[in-house]
Structure 1
Amino acid sequence: MGGTIVLVTDRPDRSAALAAALREVGPCEVVGTEESWTSGGFLLGVVSDLTLTRPEAAGCLRRLERRYRGQALPVIGLLRRASTESLRLAKTLGATVCLPAYVPPETVATALVNQIENTVPVGERAVVHGVARAGEALASLLDEARAGSQIRMETVEAGLAPILTAVQEGGLARWLDTVWSHDDATYQHCLLVAGLAAQFALHLRFRWDDQQRFVRAALVHDVGKARIPLPILNKPGRLDPDETAVMRTHAALGYEILRAGGECDAFTLDVVRHHHEMIDGSGYPDGLSGDAVSDPVRLLTICDIYAALTERRAYKTPMRMADAMAVLQGMDGKLEAGLVQSFGRALA
């Protein structure tokens, strides 16, 4: 299963066996009552081993409920007192099933698996899995790029089919909603573009190998941002001219990073270097125009711009779909109008 399981506990000294059992289901993170739930992780489920009458425990679970309200998130509540009042409190704080705290860890893990299967629709599970696998691939890629290590494309390859399956089975809207919860700007953007590329490729009825090729290029298109200074990359607001010049180096940097790895195909290298080119010659880094801008670049650039317009940031309101499409349609001459129309139909 993809996604992360969180075990939230106020007695970590006694949680090792339970954490080990949960790790048989999926990756498990153990946290305390100070957990804020503000980060945009992709949770498969939560196990609460807390004394619910303590204010800090109740506060933690209330923050959880607010953060994931409206999502089918399984929450196993372990009760240290099997009373009607304890059960009512656990349900109030978001528990989807309650068990006595003394049950064997394996029983808790089995209950969580059953909850995932019963409460999370198949399509949503596919999206959670796809986002998790794509996120792992992207994290590995960016870590290697930052460290100056040789890029290993096999890690990226493992994330491609789950993206396509997630979008096909769970739908683009679920993919976007899940990815929009991610706080890291580069991760959110790359995962948005990958999902949009998957939807576009499916709409255009690409062959399976072409779908994977296009999604691969989308997922890695901004790898060059791993070499951009963090104060510029994470600046909340508009960049000044000098900062913009630095940011614009990311396309060529990404191309060089992947080319040096020796494992990247020409299709992906073209997209990574040229995804900011425009058919009127006004783009960068090479000022390509007309037929020099390949079809894959034309397609990916549309996905890239739409993703940038609709991203969710603490410092800006995301643009509505209709408004973002109007911006794309207003770029006639820079973008290919027929492809923009086709992209709009793919989103419908």
Structure 2
Amino acid sequence: MSAQPNKIPTKRRLLLASDRSDQSSELASILQAVGQVDTISTSAIPESPSRDLSGIVVDINLRSAESVQLVRNKLRADAYREMPRLFVLADALHHGSMQAWALGATDTIARPFDAQGILQRIRAAFPDTESYDETDRGKALNRGVEAAHGVLVRIFNRLPAGEPLKFSDIVEAENKIIKAIKHSSLREWLTTVGCHHTDTYRHCLFVTGFAVAFAQHLGMREDDQRRLVRAALLHDVGKAFIPVEILDKPDPLTLEEMEVMRQHPRRGFDALTAQGGFPPEMLDVILHHHELLDGTGYPDGLSGKEISDIVRLTTIVDIYAALVEKRAYRLQFTHAKAFAMMEEMGDKLDQHLLHAFRPVAFGHY
């Protein structure tokens, strides 16, 4: 029996949806190095993808309302929710990135194409379907949670005792955390860490999970994802210096206790600044994650453009995580109620970012 000449001996099968006149031929030829590529028009995206599909690559004109609507209608289906969705950006314009995020991109690549860079992104974004099984998923999840927990132990047990926290400790953990959420799911991460007996640890792990999932949903570059993981994991480092009787109090805090608690951003910032070696954006998040755009936050009362993008993003996931977590003195809010409460905060939060966060908030349960 003769071999099938057109069959590609590969383990990945990718769907390339294109509205370009050349059917994205350059991109298709690059993708064929790592998988079988089925190129279709955007109007032909199936309502439900076949089970052997590793992921979808979308190459459309993000300024075309017609193309965007076609893709939105198809990819909003539950069948695509857990599938990697990589979008092609024509340039680095903010508009294109925002459109891709709003359409549910889990990663992005940009023209002009860098073949090696694209292949690395594809291998990371679309797991090898023949060798990556549920056992691997579980192992990746456990390794990620264990790594994050190890950082928190260093923060809350060792830092107050005078043992320095090293930036290398965070870098070592971030790879495992990103892989855990990319290769399992945010839902599995939250289910696992939600069982933690310590409220403070659980909150930091929730915030980290939401931050990673949000970064991946927004199609952030890997370096930016890493920066956000580090910042989210360490955002409450100052709570290591708050008395345990306040930190773990099972009842609402008094005004005096709340004033002590509100010192944690400054205390964390001062501790890591004194140690040195931590990037400015991490210190920015640690100090300012309770600032609000209308100037009513703390500790510095920043407003508007004084608050950086990474702080705005961390603030959103921090507040959302706090609302949906179980607390000893109140039941957790439903996802819908928590999100509605944040929408009602109006100009205190970046509502554009909050809108982009909606699919993450509602897509994991």
The TM-score with structure 1 as length reference comes to 0.64
Q: What CA distance in whole angstroms lies between the structure 1 residues aligned with 2:327 and 2:284?
A: 29
Q: Which residue of 2 aligns with 1:65?
A: none
Q: Which residue of 1 aligns with 2:188?
A: 174
| 1:193/1:303 contact within 8 Å kept | yes
Structure 2 counterpart of 1:296, from 307, 310, 316: 310
Deviation digits for residues 41-81 of structure 1 (CA, Å, limit 9, x no counterpart): xxxxxxxxxxxxxxxxxxxxxxxxxxxxxxxxxxxxxxxxx
Percent of pairs identical after alignment? Answer: 44
Q: What CA distance in whole angstroms lies between the structure 1 residues aligned with 2:327 and 2:192?
A: 14
| 1:122/1:170 contact within 8 Å kept | no
- The alpha carbon displacement at 1:169 in A equals 0.9
Q: What CA distance in whole angstroms lies between the structure 2 residues aligned with 1:197 and 1:282?
A: 23
Map 1:142-291 onto structure 2 (within 5 A). Answer: 142-291=156-305
- The alpha carbon displacement at 1:120 in A equals 5.9
Q: What amino acid maps onto 1:198 in structure 2? A: V
| 1:141/1:156 contact within 8 Å kept | no
Deviation digits for residues 161-200 of structure 1 (CA, Å, limit 9, x no counterpart): 1111111111000000111100111110111111111011
Q: What CA distance in whole angstroms lies between the structure 1 residues aligned with 2:152 and 2:172?
A: 10
Q: 1:328 to 1:121 in 2, by over 3 A?
A: farther
Q: What amino acid maps onto 1:298 in structure 2? A: R
Structure 2 counterpart of 1:318, from 319, 322, 332: 332
Q: What amino acid maps onto 2:139 in structure 1? A: R
Runs of 5+ in structure 2 lacking a partner?
1-130
Of 124-133 and 193-202, more deviation after overlay is shown by: 124-133
Deviation digits for residues 102-128 of structure 1 (CA, Å, limit 9, x no counterpart): xxxxxxxxxxxxxxx9x9643232212
Q: CA RMSD in A?
A: 1.8
| 2:207/2:232 contact within 8 Å kept | yes
Q: What CA distance in whole angstroms lies between the structure 1 residues aligned with 2:217 and 2:172?
A: 23
Q: Which residue of 2 aligns with 1:11?
A: none
| 1:145/1:223 contact within 8 Å kept | no
Q: Which residue of 2 aligns with 1:331?
A: 345
Question: Does the residue aligned with 1:192 lie in a helix, a strand or coil?
Answer: helix
Runs of 5+ in structure 1 lacking a partner?
1-116
- The alpha carbon displacement at 1:314 in A equals 4.1
| 2:193/2:206 contact within 8 Å kept | yes
Q: What CA distance in whole angstroms lies between the structure 1 residues aligned with 2:185 and 2:220?
A: 17
- The alpha carbon displacement at 1:316 in A equals 2.8
Deviation digits for residues 250-296 of structure 1 (CA, Å, limit 9, x no counterpart): 00001011111101000000000000000000000000001001111
The TM-score with structure 2 as length reference comes to 0.61
Q: What CA distance in whole angstroms lies between the structure 2 residues aligned with 1:143 and 1:341?
A: 37
Question: Does the residue aligned with 1:278 lie in a helix, a strand or coil?
Answer: coil
Q: Which residue of 1 aligns with 2:323?
A: 309
Q: Which residue of 2 aligns with 1:131?
A: 145
Q: Which residue of 2 aligns with 1:51?
A: none
- The alpha carbon displacement at 1:297 in A equals 0.5
| 1:145/1:257 contact within 8 Å kept | no
| 2:252/2:329 contact within 8 Å kept | no
Q: What amino acid maps onto 1:322 in structure 2? A: A
